[in-house]
Structure 1
Amino acid sequence: MKFESTGLISIEIDGKIYDYKLFQSLESLNRTKSQRKSAKELNISHTVFNRRLLKAEEKLGLKITQKAGNGTLLTEAGIDLLNEFRKYSIQIEKTSNINIAGGHISSGLLESITKSFNINVYSSSDKDAFELAKRGAVDILTLDDPLLAYELNIDFTPIAYDYLVLISSPNSKEITSINDLQGLEFVNVEGSAQRLAWNSLEHYDIDYSLKKTVNSQFDAFKLVKNSENLHSFLNASFFKGNEILKFDTRHVISLIKVNEDKPEVDEYIDFILNDGQKAIENQGFTLI
């Protein structure tokens, strides 16, 4: 699928133009998880809102939403589409807002604790966010895993600690020791701190297999919970699970200042490292 920016309010995908109304709808639905609530928020009828999504799916040839109980969630394709729009919006928009791009966990943390600053957040993998930062499209890069910074010898600022917990399918056997992990099948999250879990399993001579790979921890969680016998290691700050590899998978959540010429960026980082620390702790992270 080919994406091209065509201005402030539209994106061209495979030769077809999608205007801001679609992405406005996806942003709202991603937040409310309800078509009716989003329709009300956008001051349109539920019928118009639903027709807008169906028309987009027909043009794309992809499902971008899915029913979940009494609500509606974005599919992985829908999330990818929304993130592409966010990415182009960040690149195009030149404002005093602080533009942040980073891994799902670190960027989600900053978005959830920041109320007094004007920020735009693009959530992706560490690698994709780094590519955006290289093009000068963001002011701050956040990393779920400091590996990229270590590999490229880039200075980073630690803002919190996190670790991984084991998430298992509902009917899986109880895991009480490292040896219970022998032979299990896992969902891999591309570009996440899971490398620490896989390294640990190899260190303990545990035979395991990676059956599926997804782009976000939230997709991994849904996949595991809806399967018969799958597992995954996900961040403890966002998910409750078995802490069997807690000390083996402790890692730093960090940020990198990309824009040196915007005073708001320094003010924001100062807030994160000082007054914002209590809010970070309340989100389930361990303070530096």
Structure 2
Amino acid sequence: MKIESKGLISLEINGEIYDYKLYQSLDSLSRTKSQRKSAKELNISHTVFNRRLLKAEDKLGVKITQKIGNGTHLTADGLKLLEEFRKYLIQIEKTSSINIAGGHISTGLLESIETPFDINIYSSNDEDAFKLAKRGVVDILTLDDPLIAYERDINFMPIAYDYLVLVSSPKSRNVESISDLEGLDFVGVNGSAQRLAWNSLRHYDIKFNIKDTVNSQFDAFKIVRNSENLYTFLNASYFKGNELLKYDTQHVISVIKVNEDKPEVDEFVRYLLNDAQKSIGKQGFTPMG
């Protein structure tokens, strides 16, 4: 898709103009995972909401939503479109707001908790978010995995703990011990903390195969749930699964202050480390301390 900004909050994609209403729909659906809930949130009928998505899909020529269980999730193309809208919003937003970019898990956490701050959140993967931070587009960088910070000797502040669980289809072979992982086929997720799982398997001398790689944990979940004898490791804060490598894959969800000249940035980080810890715990993460 060829994407360009057009007007105040419209994007031109392959010659077609998509306005703020589509952005609102995608943004709401990314949080609610329900067309009916999003329609209610936007104060429109479910029919109008659904028609808006179908019209966009028809123009784009790609699917931007997909049914998973009883919910509706954004596809990789839907997430890409939403991310482009958010990126453009960040670039035009007033400087009084706190602009945040980061991995899907860490930004999803910040989106799920109530804060007294005016924040704009751009969700992608750690690598793409880091590129935005280097350009000075955002005030705070959040990381699903602190690897980027470790590699570059960047100071980061942990705000929560998470770990990985093994996820598969009910039809897949049951895994009860680490030795049962020998020779299994996996779906990888770019920019996630899965490196911890792969390193652990190598440490235990377990041979395994990464058969496919996707950009979203939700895409990986859909693939393995609909496949027999295909597995993946996903964040326990969002998915239920086998905790076989819980202690091997425990890691921090962290933030990095990019714009240290803005007082609101320090205030927001202090809030996350103190007042927000109870809310963070309620979202399935392990709070600090």
Q: TM-score range by the shorter chain?
A: over 0.9
**Which AA in structure 1 matches 2:187?**
V
The answer for unaligned runs of 5 or more in structure 2 is none
Change (3 A) 1:167 1:262: same
Q: Is the 8 A contact 1:197 1:233 kept in 2?
A: yes
More deviation, 140-149/275-284: 275-284
Decide which moves more: 272-281 or 83-92. Answer: 272-281
Show the counterpart of 1:140.
140
% identity of equivalent residues: 75
1:1-288 map, 5 Å: 1-68=1-68, 72-288=72-288
Does the Cα contact within 8 Å between 2:162 and 2:236 map onto a contact in 1? yes
After TM superposition, the score normalised by the length of structure 2 is: 0.92
Return the alpha-carbon distance in structure 1 between the equivalents of residues 285 and 71 of structure 2: 29
How much does 1:131 deviate? 1.0
Which amino acid in structure 1 is aligned with residue 28 of structure 2?
S
Q: CA deviation at 1:87?
A: 1.2
What is the alpha-carbon distance in structure 1 between the residues aligned to residue 49 and residue 262 of structure 2? 38
Tell me if the contact between 1:145 and 1:253 (Cα under 8 Å) persists in the aligned partners: yes
Is the Cα contact below 8 Å between 2:75 and 2:219 reproduced in 1? Answer: no
Give the count of matched residue pairs.
Answer: 288
Residues 208-257 of structure 1: CA distance to partner in whole angstroms, max 9, x if unpaired?
11111111212212221122221111112222211111121121211100
Aligned-pair distance for 1:269?
0.6
Question: SS of 1:232's equivalent?
Answer: strand
AA matched with 2:144: D
Q: CA distance change for structure 1 residues 28 and 238 in 2, over 3 Å: closer, same or farther?
A: closer
Q: Are residues 277 and 229 of structure 1, via their aligned partners in 2, closer, same or farther at CA, if it must alter by over 3 Å?
A: same
In terms of mean alpha carbon deviation, does 38-47 or 226-235 score higher? 38-47
Q: Once the two structures are superposed, what CA deviation does each residue of 1:52-77 show, in whole Å capped at 9, x if it has no partner?
A: 22222122111112345665432221
- 8 Å contact from structure 2 (residues 65, 74) kept in 1: yes
Distance (whole Å) between structure 2 residues aligned to residue 101 and residue 286 of structure 1: 22
Matched residue type, 1:5:
S
State whether residues 8 and 89 of structure 1, in contact with CA within 8 Å, keep that contact through their aligned partners in structure 2. Answer: no
Structure 1, unaligned runs of 5 or more: none
Secondary structure at the counterpart of residue 83 of structure 1: helix
Shift of 1:274: 1.4
Q: CA RMSD in A?
A: 1.9
Q: TM-score, normalised by structure 1?
A: 0.93
- Secondary structure (helix, strand or coil) at the match of 1:160 reads strand
